[in-house]
Structures are given as C-alpha cells and as structure tokens.
Structure 1
C-alpha cells in the first residue's frame, strides 16, 4: 500500500467485520495504518455467525499489502476490551486510535420495548464504547507519565437517532445520545494526555439500517451513479480523524452521508428569564411560552410527522 495520512499509526476498529466498520478498517489500512479488526461474529438476531468476518477483512487488507490482525472479543466485556487494546500494543508496538463502531439494534416502539432488549442495546453501544476507550486511555496516560509523547484519538459512533431521536428506536436513541455526551467528557478530560475525542453520526446502508429505512437506503438504479448510501463514503472522515492532521479537533460531533460532511451543533444555553425570586408555578406558563417562542424550533424526530 502507498503512504497515506495514517502511515505508521495503529488503530483498533470495533465491529469491523461488516458494514461501516469493515470499510473503516479497509480505508485506514489504505491510508497506511495497521489495524486491529475486532468483530464478535454475531448475526443481527444475536446468533453466532457461520463465517468469520474479522478474519476475512484481515485477509483483504493483507492481500492489498497492509497489516492487520483479527480480534473476536466482546466490546462490552471489560477483560475483552482490555485484550483488544493489549493486542494492538503486543502485535504492533503501539496504539494511536480507537474507532468505536460496534452496535446492535432491537427496534421496538417504546411502549412495547422489553427489559432484555433495552439492556442489550445499551450494553453493546454504551458500555461497548466505554470499555475499549477506557483501556486505551489508561494506556495513553501511562505513556505520558513515563515521559512519552502521545497523539491519541478516540472516534465514537453516535447517530442521528441519538441527536434527534427516532421513532421505534428508544433504546438505540438513548444509547447513541449517551455516546455523544460521553464524547464531550472524554474530550475535556483526556486533552491533557494528548488525546482527542470526536464522534460521527453516519447515514449509510448497513445490516442495521436496510431493514428499517428500506427506501432511503436503496441502491441507485444506475450502476455508474454515485451511491450516497455506500458505507465506504463515511470512512474517509474516520481516517482523517485518526490521522495526525486532526490534532486540535476535539469534542465535536460530525454528520456524514454520501459526499456531505457537517458539524452538528449540540445543546446550547438558551434565552433566560430571571424572576429574581422563586417562581410561582402559575406564572411559569407565560414565561416558558415566551422562551419557546424566542428559541429555534427543535429538529424533527426521525420517523415523526
């Protein structure tokens, strides 16, 4: 492979056997990174996959002249997350970035959601982002304390569902919103160690989105037309965020779809009415309506009217 913007970098990508993660791993390798390709090897319903997607991606990278190693640990298992970080350091001698991508969906209207579905989705997405990044942060902090220079990256995956909400995806939306908040805290706390943290909200055709947004995710009829929903369109942004060139960009949430990239603007402090004393509940109605009238309307929830 030719030199790229991630030459010499070592990157862990979770959920990299298929979909977005696969394309992230391939693009990072094209840009010169050595990649730990993590995939737990499960179908959408949670059953074990009959194939070995992580090893397939590793073989594809190797066939193109890159370097990669497969990892099958559960991202939400504390020891498993430590193992994938340890594998990067053991095999390649360093760790420069963690791309948290692994996820699962159990779509259900909120009033019908089960405890088991909620726990699974929150565990895989939210704890599955926390655990690998937490072990990576400990590694980078130890390096700094030992006098070494660190240029680390945490790249998280949130969603438009987490930023705006999505009908029928309460657990997924809540977990993805949590990831956006987690990213802000990571950016604020880890900058002292030379680590940036950013998140992206991708819109692309994957196993998780094809069944839910069938029409939106359809392939173009013309095979030569630009396929805006190809997950590979998102991966250049991941590669850039993992590169040295992204130093100084931290605490941001990016939206990416097709050839479009934007920076999402999160919660901001709004207009204030100060009563100068404790409010009488009967007086709050007029004040709240005035504040709402002064502010911008909220973005619509996906799937809402």
Structure 2
C-alpha cells in the first residue's frame, strides 16, 4: 500500500539515544486518510503517530473498510516504490491483487498472508480484482528492515499455511514470529511477532506476551476493552515492555491484531513510501523512482501486468529532510 499524502512529512521514527521510560499503556487514535485521492476509499492510520513512531520494527499501520466495493473501482493503488521495509497485507473480507516488479501476481484473501520485502527497492501495485467479493476489509502494516537486510534483494512471500490455535473464547492466527509456542513460516529480520485474534461476544481471553517486547493492540472492527481502555476500530493501544500477558475483552464478536517486537535500535528516516537513514538516501531513491517511472531504472523494475500509470513521487520539501524527535 502507498502513503499518498501530497506533502508527506519526514519522520524520525526511532532513536538509538536514551529516551524516557515509555508509559505502560498509551491509546493512539487513528487519522482518516484517503487512499488514492479525495474520492478514494479511506483508511484509518494509527502508526506512525506524533507521540509514538514505532512498536518494535513495526512502523506503519492502516486499517481499511469494511467498504462496499461491489460498484466502482474499489481499491486502486497504482505502481509505487518502497525501500527498506516489509509490507504485511492481511484481509478480514474481500480480495486484493498484488503485482510487483519481480513478476509476482497473487490475489491476497482472508487468512492468507502477503509479505513483501522491499530491500534495496521494489515497485508494486494493489488493486481490487475483477470478480471480487462485494466487501473489502483488512489492514496493511510496514516493518522496518535492519541495516544488515535493507540493502538486499527484494522478495515476495505468500503464506496460506499459517498456524492457528484456540484460547477460551478466541481463535488466534500467527502472522509473524511465535505466539504461545506456535511459529509462523513468514520470514522476519528482527525479534518480532504479529497475530490476529478473533474474539467471541462476551469473551475474556488472556494472550501471553514476551516481556522484552513492546506491543500494540489494533482493533479491526468492534470496540475492545484492554487494560481499562476502550479501543475503537482503527485505534491502536501501545503496551510498553515488561508485560507478559494481556487480557482482551469484548461485548461483541471482534477481530484485532496484536503486534510487537524488541524496541528498534537504529535511527530511521521515513518519507512517503521510503524508509532510509538520511536525507541523501531518500533523495536518491526518489530520483531513481522518477526515472523508473518515465525512462526505466534497474532499481525499480516495472510492475508486470499492471498497465496503469505509476504513482508520481510527491515533491520534496525545500529544506533537507532531518530527523525529528521520537
């Protein structure tokens, strides 16, 4: 998915310098962002937030839908670039067709994980396919790649064999890492976890956590009650390190994502769809993308099978991109 804000701000989303101890729990309200323009399908974006840029290596979280896509074009995100991150696509309902510069062509459906590692650079598109189900609902998140991995070749994985287990009143699917002894086959590059939890109405489900991780609880639909907080759809509740369990409660059937990881130890600069380390790197990646869009460039191979025009990069600000306080 793409950040299509016309004036994306540079974000320092991590710092290696000492920072104050994080609060035990912090509710991040989402902001409404149009995906593809003012008349496009809106998404609820809870990460990055001005108060909290990352949760482990997770640096971006959008919830979209449920949206009626039976008429019109549905989701239409044209070819666009990424560097330095993984995209994690997870659907509750509907279908999204992923194409990329590697030649990957997959329709992501509920219960299947689409995982793309951009590495040094990749272009992809995400569109509602022909013959799609009438409702689209899901999430896309980004994971920052560490220095040792971010210059590597791009890669796309599609997993339809994720581990599933049950807790009292809940069904858990492990997207990434390990939860309750069940490990996802998805490739990760930092200590990381991600899971979908489906709660039955009236359920109270205890989920084990790693004490050295920070975590986030992202509501996908019905409101949740977590640690005394009401977490509405699209909102994210941050949980600081030191917690080994979280109890999830709901009065209605509900779905949520739990994400987490060890606090990321590297400084990052994120602008538009690019995760780098400094101004010059972002400027070079943007120039490579604009050249790829108009003339062709080895860094960003064209998205095979997608005949629509590629997404132009926003204009850079008139000053050097510089890190902001976390």
By relative contact order (CA 8 Å, sep 6+), the higher-ranking structure is 2
Give the number of the structure whose residues are more often helix, by fraction.
Answer: 1
Return the TM-score normalized by structure 1: 0.26
Structure whose CA Rg is larger: 1
TM-score, length-scaled by structure 2:
0.25
